[in-house]
Amino acid sequence: MEFKKKETPILVTKSALPDFAAYTEEIRSIWDNHWLTNMGPKHEQLRAELKEYMQVPYVELLTNGHMALELVLEALDLKGEVITTPFTYISTTHSIVRNGLTPVFCDIRPDDYTMDPEKIEALITDKTCAIMPVHVYGNVCDVERIQEIADKHHLKVIYDAAHTFGETYKGKGIGTFGDANCFSFHATKVFNTVEGGAVTTADPAIAQRVSELKNFGYSTGDEIPHTGSNAKMNEFCAAMGLCLLREIETLIEKRKKICARYDERLAKVRGIKLNAVQKDVSSNYAYYPVEIIEEDYGMDRDALVVKLNEYNIFPRKYFYPITSAFEVFKGIYDPKDTPIAYRAGNRVITLPLHAELPLEDVDFICDLIEHFAAH
């Protein structure tokens, strides 16, 4: 079969944007009140609407998901070691280190790539203060087992929930688990505010401390009880969030149909391992990861990526390398100490996925993957 290279690159993602007229109408009032930042009307409206949509008691909006992670750890005033996963974006690990804490890496489960709760307790020491699991690709961690372990050992639980906006587990908003949850609203995410992030929690003290830390440490009036940062979401980003929140269910439904087509086309391709379908989770279809098993497929992950690139298809090796393998941690950690994560980091790619991706493009990608497997 002859395949013609795509004239326009098919990228791994494409940022969702609202109707241009809808966004300009949303920001019109900013020109009337000249309130650009510092918890303005758009900020407060988005915060209120997110509390309802995400089914959470408290939401704090921030400039990005990384500052959500950093400021939550600071708000909890932790000291010592944090058990986390190396199968994540580097932001997770950096947030721990930048708070003067020590990451301790726990391996992942091979089916859904989330932290393996059965390997956590062996890593707990008298220095352990918290667990920071990561919901991966929209796959939800074993929140019940992790909480049992945390309660038994009196540990805090902070979820990196960057991939799970809008999801529920057993009918509960994903942002209600643990002590706090950190979300990214980056341009590449299912829901974006261009740049942005949020902390959700059921603890008013954590919400208040994050609110203070994101605004230079101010509490009330001129009082500054903490050394703070500057991580406030501005009005233009909040306006983008308000526009896209109105469309979020439509966007997720479109992503669902694309994932269903991938499933249909790739389920029987030898050497292609598809993402697990989780019971009791309402997915947001954030990513479409596949694991390339070289001995069955006939080539390794990196070779497949090169082949796809030749046809203007650009998947992402995500997460590669795992965070314990980055140069900044060379000589401190051995990435092979978490062998399942290490293997996944060398075998997984996320295929192109966004709400506007035509099904014809999905079919073209699948045709190529099938063709390479056969040859």
**Residues forming a β-bridge with 184:** 197
Backbone dihedral angles phi then psi of residue 23, each to the nearest 5 degrees: -70, -45
Structure confidence at residue 375 (pLDDT)? 80
Backbone dihedral angles phi then psi of residue 62, each to the nearest 5 degrees: -135, 175
Alpha helices in 185-313 (DSSP H): 204-213, 235-245, 248-266, 294-297, 301-310
Beta strand spans in 97-232 (E): 102-105, 128-132, 156-160, 168-169, 172-173, 180-184, 197-201
Structure confidence at residue 2 (pLDDT)? 84
**Residues forming a β-bridge with 330:** 333
Which of the listed CATH numbers 1.20.1050.140, 3.40.640.10, 3.40.50.300, 1.10.150.530 matches domain 20-245?
3.40.640.10
Structure confidence at residue 374 (pLDDT)? 77
- Topology (CATH level 3) of domain 10-15+247-374: Aspartate Aminotransferase, domain 1 (3.90.1150)
Structure confidence at residue 220 (pLDDT)? 81
Count of CB atoms situated within 10 Å of the CB of 347: 20
Distance in angstroms (rounded) separating the CA atoms of residues 359 and 374: 22
Residue 259: partners with Cβ closer than 8 Å, 6 or more residues away: 285, 288, 353
**Residues forming a β-bridge with 248:** none
Specify the domain boundaries for CATH 3.40.640.10 within the chain.
Answer: 20-245
Distance in angstroms (rounded) separating the CA atoms of residues 198 and 184: 7
Specify the domain boundaries for CATH 3.90.1150.10 within the chain.
Answer: 10-15+247-374
Q: What is the pLDDT along the chain (375 residues), one digit of tens a residue?
A: 789 999 999 999 999 999 999 999 999 999 999 999 999 999 999 999 999 999 999 999 999 999 999 999 999 999 999 999 999 999 999 999 999 999 999 999 999 999 999 999 999 999 999 999 999 999 999 999 999 999 999 999 999 999 999 999 999 999 999 999 999 999 999 999 999 999 999 999 999 999 999 999 998 878 898 899 999 999 999 999 999 999 999 999 999 999 999 999 999 999 999 999 999 999 999 999 999 999 999 999 999 999 999 999 999 999 999 999 999 999 999 999 999 999 999 999 999 999 999 999 999 999 999 999 978
From the number of C-beta atoms within 10 Å of its C-beta (0-12, 13-18, 19+), residue 306 rates as exposed
Buried-exposed string 157-173: b where 16+ CB fall within 10 A, e elsewhere: bbbbbbbbbbbbbeeeb
By the 8 A CB rule, do 59 and 185 touch? no
Predicted TM-score (pTM) of this structure: 0.97
Amino acid letter, residue 261: R
Residue 249: partners with Cβ closer than 8 Å, 6 or more residues away: none
Pairing of strands 128-132, 102-105: unpaired
